[in-house]
């Protein structure tokens, strides 16, 4: 029964070191098997999703050597199986990155159809469209997707929707295709740029990542590299909103402030003080917070992965706020849990109408998915009294040592695994 036990009501104060970006690490790890030479990846987050991916890589014959908690050496020269399957890999969305990586290198891949957080219908038609444009045939049967080609040839691909996953997958396959590929209406997220930088450091020729037109000139092979993953924009943003919701003062360190601009802008709008340094951002919430409107959009817009965290904060901000989710249709599943903590929120379609309340109160709640889970922990930390948060395996998919980092900021939070440990926590806080 792993759960977080939380006694809320204290402002979180201090500094927190942000780790490598999960959503950059996943494609970078998958792409590292595209060369037969050894690749060293640093600043890798030690979270459940990256570990599942590394196990799956080892499962098909990749040599994976952990140097330390955040560094790994990967060698894909002895891959002996182009079928990636298994229960754990099915549960992570990023398993589909094996398609682009293996198709690019071996011109064939079969991967179990991806799961991931239940945040709405997560189509992969744009990935398939891209692979087909490069000359691959794609079949789905018995829960597996297979892409194969005699040869991959560069093409002009216009994405119908801005998709992080499709942009990344097409980019991976195209770097080893013959000739030139153009991806239009590409995703511009920092992790798309990080993957492009990583592939370029392996000898790929990718230009324009970070804009909506990415141009790739295919190369024959990729070579070894050493690469450090960028800091996690969403982990940083989560702690920034934890400062706001608990009326605290948190400095997130080891970040790229530019990646946090849309998050900082909203925090300033609702009344926080945000101070940027070279690689740190400090958020101080000493005044009462007020309402705002926010709509999630592809980068550089406000990230959908920060939507639950801002909603939890707006639930404690004076006035009526409106949060519109424009990326995933099922990303308000945490609202019922928040209402049980005293929030006043009404969801209509893809919009949440939030009437700010003065306080939340502790409750027993469930994490419905990764980001919503983290947001509910923030709610519990700002609430009066004790809460328990169940299903924390979702949170552990993407946050390394979440409760330990929060403890260092003064939070009363423990991970408990039995009724006895829960009783101990209750005694400690009484
Ligand atoms: C990535 O998911 C992230 N996951 C998500 O983070 C993030 O929420 C999302 O991008 C948006 O930023 C990883 O990086 C592993 P999309 P992805 O393809 O790639 C539609 C987290 O919390 N679409 O950009 O699956 C789709 O339905 C996770 O860390 C199609 O219609 O997202 C959605 O509405 C959760 N056809 C929109 O595009 C396609 O072929 C954006 O999805 C692909 C996507």
How far is it, in rounded angstroms, from Cα 57 to Cα 54?
A: 5
> Does residue 126's CB lie within 6 angstroms of at least one atom of ligand 1?
yes
210 and 270 together in one domain: no
Locate the ligand 1 atom nearest the alpha carbon of residue 369 and give its number.
22
Segments forming the whole domain that contains residue 50: 22-228
Distance CA 52, CA 105 (A): 21
Q: Which of 228, 255, 290 is the endpoint of a domain?
A: 228
139 plus 180 within the same structural domain: yes
* 299 and 320 together in one domain: yes
Residue 40's φ and ψ, nearest 5 degrees, are: -110, 125
Strand partners for 72? 41, 66
Query: Are the beta carbons of 131 and 155 closer than 8 angstroms?
Result: no
Dihedral sign from CA coordinates of 277, 236, 308, 249: negative
Measure 164 CA to ligand 1 centroid, in angstroms.
Answer: 6
**Cβ atoms within 10 Å of 372's Cβ, excluding its own:** 27
For residue 37, report the distance from its CA to the centre of ligand 1, in Å.
Answer: 30
Q: Report yes or no: 318 and 288 within 8 Å, Cβ to Cβ.
A: yes
**Would you call 117 a catalytic residue per the annotation?**
yes
For 261-296, the pLDDT digits (tens) are 999 999 999 999 999 999 999 999 999 999 999 999
Task: Dig out the tokens for 115 from the structure.
Answer: 């799961």
Residues 265 and 340 grouped into a single domain: yes
Residue 330 and residue 196 share a domain? no
Separation between Cα atoms, residue 212 and residue 100, nearest integer Å: 20
Asked if residue 176 and residue 265 are part of one domain, the reply reads no
Query: Which strands make up the sheet holding 385-390, listed edge to edge?
Result: 364-366, 385-390, 3-8, 412-416
Chain centre distance of CA 191: 9
**Domain harbouring 48, CATH code:** 3.65.10.10
What is the crossing angle of helices 307-314 and 370-382, to 10°?
20
- One digit per residue, the tens of pLDDT, for the chain of length 430 reads 799 999 999 999 999 999 999 999 999 999 999 999 999 999 999 999 999 999 999 999 999 999 999 999 999 999 999 999 988 888 888 999 999 999 999 999 999 987 655 666 678 999 999 999 999 999 999 989 999 999 999 999 999 999 999 999 999 999 999 999 999 999 999 999 999 999 999 999 999 999 999 999 999 999 999 999 999 999 999 999 999 999 999 999 999 999 999 999 999 999 999 999 999 999 999 999 999 999 999 999 999 999 999 999 999 999 999 999 999 988 999 999 999 999 999 999 999 999 999 999 999 999 999 999 999 999 999 999 999 999 999 999 999 999 999 999 999 999 999 999 999 999 999 8
Domains contained in the chain, number: 2
Site to probe by mutation for ligand 1, drawn from 129, 185, 326, 327 as the one with most ligand atoms within 8 Å of Cβ, is 327
Residues 35, 11 share a domain: no
Does the Cβ of 130 fall within 6 Å of ligand 1? Answer: no
Q: Is there an atom of ligand 1 within 6 Å of 123 CB?
A: yes
| The pLDDT of residue 120 | 65
Question: Looking at the structure, do residues 221 and 267 belong to the same domain, yes or no?
Answer: no
The answer to whether residues 52 and 74 belong to one domain is yes
CA of 18 to the centre of ligand 1 (A): 22
Give CA–CA dist 330/303, Å, rounded: 15
| Residues 95 and 108 occupy one common structural domain | yes
Answer whether 93 contacts ligand 1 (Cβ < 6 A): yes
Nearest CA to ligand 1 atom 10: 164
Closest residue to atom 4 of ligand 1, CA basis: 23
Residue 94 near ligand 1, beta carbon < 6 Å: yes
Closest residue to atom 7 of ligand 1, CA basis: 305
User: How far apart are the C-alpha atoms of 367 and 361, rounded to whole Å?
Assistant: 17
Among 117, 206, 314, 411, the one annotated catalytic: 117
Residues in contact with 123: Cβ distance below 8 Å, sequence separation at least 6, in sequence order: none
The residue whose CA has the least distance to atom 30 of ligand 1 is 123
Q: Please tell me if the CB atom of residue 127 comes closer than 6 angstroms to any atom of ligand 1.
A: yes
Alpha-carbon distances of 268 from 65, 177, 272, rounded to whole Å: 43, 46, 5
What's the CA-to-centroid distance between 304 and ligand 1, angstroms? 9
Ligand 1 in contact with 232 (CB < 6 A)? no
* Tokens linked to 239: 């702690």
Structure tokens, 417: 């695994």
Using one digit for the tens of pLDDT, what is the confidence trace for 312-371?
Answer: 999 999 999 999 999 998 899 999 999 999 999 999 999 999 999 999 999 999 999 999
Mark whether 221 and 242 lie in a shared domain.
no
Which of 195, 210, 228 is where one domain is finished? 228
What is the C-alpha separation between 420 and 91, in angstroms, rounded? 31
Q: Atom 41 in ligand 1: which residue has the minimum CA distance?
A: 163
SS3 annotation, the chain: CCEEEEEECCCCEEEEECCECHHHHHHHHHHHHHCCCEEEEECCCCCHHHHHHHHHHHHCCCEEEEEECCEEEEECCCCCCCEECCHHHHCCHHHHHHHHHHHHHHCEEEEECCCCCCCCCCCCHHHHHHHHHCCCEEEEECCEEEEECCCCECCEEECCCCCHHHHHHHHHHHHCCECEEEEECCCCCHHHHHHHHHHHHCCCEEECECECEEEEECCCCCCCEEEECCECHHHHHHHHHHHHHCCCEEEEECCCHHHHHHHHHHHHHCCCEEEECCCEEEEECCCCCECCEEEECCCCCECHHHHHHHHHHHCCCECEEEEECCCCCCCCCCHHHHHHCCCEEEEECCEEEEECCCCCECCEEECCCHHHHHHHHHHHHHCEEEEEEECCHHHHCCCCCHHHHHHHCCCEEEEECCHHHHHHHHHHHC
| Domain stops at, among 228, 252, 280 | 228
> What is the residue with the minimal CA distance to atom 13 of ligand 1?
23
Beta carbon of 164 within 6 Å of any ligand 1 atom: yes
Q: Which residues pair with 321 in a beta bridge?
A: 354
176 and 245 in a single domain? The answer is no
């Amino acid at each position: 029964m792993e759960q977080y036990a939380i006694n809320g009501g204290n402002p979180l104060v201090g500094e927190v070191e942000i780790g490598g970006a999960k959503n950059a690490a996943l494609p970078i790890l998958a792409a590292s098997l595209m060369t037969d030479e050894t690749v060293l990846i640093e600043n890798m987050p030690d979270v459940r999703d990256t570990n599942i991916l590394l196990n799956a890589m080892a499962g098909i014959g990749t040599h994976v050597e952990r140097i330390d908690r955040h560094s790994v050496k990967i060698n894909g020269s002895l891959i002996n199986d182009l079928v990636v399957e298994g229960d754990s890999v099915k549960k992570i969305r990023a398993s589909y990155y094996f398609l682009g990586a293996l198709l690019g290198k071996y011109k064939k891949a079969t991967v179990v159809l991806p799961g991931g957080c239940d945040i709405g219908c997560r189509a992969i038609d744009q990935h398939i469209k891209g692979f087909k444009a490069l000359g691959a045939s794609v079949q789905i049967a018995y829960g597996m997707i297979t892409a194969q080609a005699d040869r991959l040839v560069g093409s002009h691909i216009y994405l119908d929707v801005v998709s992080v996953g499709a942009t990344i997958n097409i980019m991976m396959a195209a770097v080893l295709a013959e000739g030139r590929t153009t991806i239009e209406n590409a995703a511009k997220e920092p992790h798309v740029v990080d993957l492009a930088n990583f592939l370029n450091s392996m000898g790929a020729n990718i230009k324009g990542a970070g804009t909506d037109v990415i141009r790739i000139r295919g190369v024959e092979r990729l070579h070894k590299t050493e690469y450090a993953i960028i800091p996690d924009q969403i982990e940083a943003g989560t702690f920034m909103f934890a400062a706001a919701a608990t009326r605290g003062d948190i400095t997130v360190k080891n970040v790229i402030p530019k990646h946090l601009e849309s998050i900082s802008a909203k925090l300033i709008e609702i009344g926080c003080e945000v101070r940027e340094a070279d690689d740190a951002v400090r958020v101080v919430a000493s005044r009462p917070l007020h309402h705002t409107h926010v709509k999630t959009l592809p980068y550089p817009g406000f990230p959908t992965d920060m939507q639950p965290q801002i909603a939890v904060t707006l639930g404690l901000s004076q006035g009526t706020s409106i949060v519109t989710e424009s990326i995933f249709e099922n990303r308000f599943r945490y609202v019922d849990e928040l209402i049980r903590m005293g929030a006043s929120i009404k969801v209509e379609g893809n919009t949440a109408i939030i009437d700010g309340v003065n306080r939340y109160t502790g409750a027993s709640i469930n994490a419905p998915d990764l980001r919503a889970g983290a947001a509910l922990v923030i709610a519990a930390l700002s609430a009066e009294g004790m809460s328990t948060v169940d299903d924390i395996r979702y949170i552990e998919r993407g946050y390394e040592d979440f409760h330990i980092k929060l403890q260092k900021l003064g939070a009363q939070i423990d991970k408990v695994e039995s009724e006895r440990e829960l009783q101990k926590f209750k005694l400690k806080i009484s």
